[in-house]
Every structure is written in C-alpha cells, then in structure tokens.
Amino acid sequence: MKALEQVILVDESDTMIGTAEKMKAHEDALLHRAFSVFIYRRVNHEIEILLQKRQIDKYHCGGLWTNTCCSHPRVGEETVAAGQRRLSEEMSLVLPLESIGKFLYKASFSNGLTEHEYDHVLLGEYDGIQPIILDPNEAEAYRWVTVALLEKELNALPEQFTPWFNLAFQFVLEKLCYSS
C-alpha cells in the first residue's frame, strides 16, 4: 500500500511546526510549505515563460494555467532540491534553480479544499536542449509565452490562471525584467 503524502506544516515565519497528510492539510486549510517553479528562456531579445495547464482531474484548479510546476517539499528535503525533483517528474527537465522570493497566501475552492501555503518561488533558465515531456497525471498541456503577452492575459483573463500564479509571477518579473 502506498504511503500517504505528507506536507510540512509551518508558522507564518516558515518555521516547521509539524507534518500532515497532504489532503488533510488542504481540507483543514493548514498552513504548509510549497514551491512554485518558473522556467524561462530568451528568444529574440524577449523573455518567455514556460507554463503548464494543470490536468483537468487535479484535486483543485484542474484545467487552469500555472507556472512550470509546483508542489510541496518532503520532510527533510531542501526546497530547491524539491523543486528540481518535481521539475524532472512533471516536465522531464533537469535544470538548476534559484530561490527568488517567498510569500504567504490562502485560496479556497468550491470543492471544499483550501490552499494555505508559504510558497517559495524558484527560477531556472531553459537550456534549449532537453525535450519537455509532460507527466499526463499532472499537466495536460504546456506553452511558452512572452512576459508581455502573459501580463496582458493575466489582466484580461485572470480566471484562466491558478490563484497563486500572479503572486508568484511578480517575483519573476522583478528578477528578470526589472533588475539592473
């Protein structure tokens, strides 16, 4: 029998205070550690972001566009290493990642689940070599989109994106577009 996946419960300073089964944490809106991975590439002097469309049957936000991948670190697993693991599992990419920020958010869904996460934003650059191969249990599609077009879509059609996406994307904008 497969063991139930555990998440790391944290306080508002991101200090570990315990663990909980993943679905229980989402049912009870327990604050837990998570990460959002963004992969980018430079094409013709523009920055493009790799998005995934969540598999329609995901436990929440199925069918919505989001960052390249996201998940939860395991107990004893460093957050960047967890991001690299999930990037490989979900998109078949093995790339270095850096932590560029973190934020706390809470979003409730019509199915009774709640995301209450201390989310670490991780960023990596696509090497242009590795093929992107989606895990069909996690994502049903992917696409590259320029930063300018993505900002327009977020303003015009925010309901097509996961609730954490725009919050995390602001860190990417600051790092890639506004740093000197």
pLDDT at res. 180 = 40
pLDDT category at 159 given cuts 50, 70, 90 is: very high
What is the model's pLDDT at position 2?
55
Element (H, E) at 24: helix 22-27
Specify the higher pLDDT residue, 111 or 24: 24
How big is the chain by its Cα radius of gyration, in Å? 16
User: How confident is the model over 132-157, as a mean pLDDT?
Assistant: 95
Q: Is residue 34's pLDDT more than 90? A: yes
- Do residues 132 and 142 lie in contact, with contact meaning Cβ atoms separated by under 8 Å? yes
The pLDDT score that the predictor gives to residue 13 is: 96
Q: Please say if the pLDDT value at position 179 is more than 60.
A: no
Domains defined along the chain, listed by start: 6-177 (3.90.79.10)
Q: Encode pLDDT of 54-72 as tens digits.
A: 988 877 777 899 999 999 9
- In this structure, what are the phi and psi dihedrals at residue 77, rounded to the nearest 5 degrees? -100, 130
The SS3 assignment for 130 reads coil
Instruction: Tell me the average pLDDT across 9-21.
Output: 96
Supply the residues annotated as catalytic: 70, 117
Question: How do residues 97-125 score in pLDDT, each as one tens digit?
Answer: 999 999 999 998 888 889 999 999 999 99
Rounded to the nearest 5°, which phi and psi values hold at 144? -95, 135
- Partners of residue 24 on adjacent β-strands: none
Q: What value does the mean pLDDT of the chain take?
A: 93
Output the CA–CA distances (angstroms, integers) from residue 117 to 46, 73, 162, in the order listed: 31, 12, 13
DSSP string covering 93-149, please?
Answer: -----EEEEEEEEEEE-TTS-EEEEEEEEEEEE--S-SPP---TTTEEEEEEEEHHH
pTM for the complete prediction? 0.93
4 — pLDDT class (breaks 50, 70, 90)? confident
Predicted confidence band of residue 178 (pLDDT cuts 50, 70, 90)? low
Split at pLDDT 50, 70, 90, the class of 161 is very high
pLDDT at 70: 93
Distance CA 151, CA 171 (A): 13
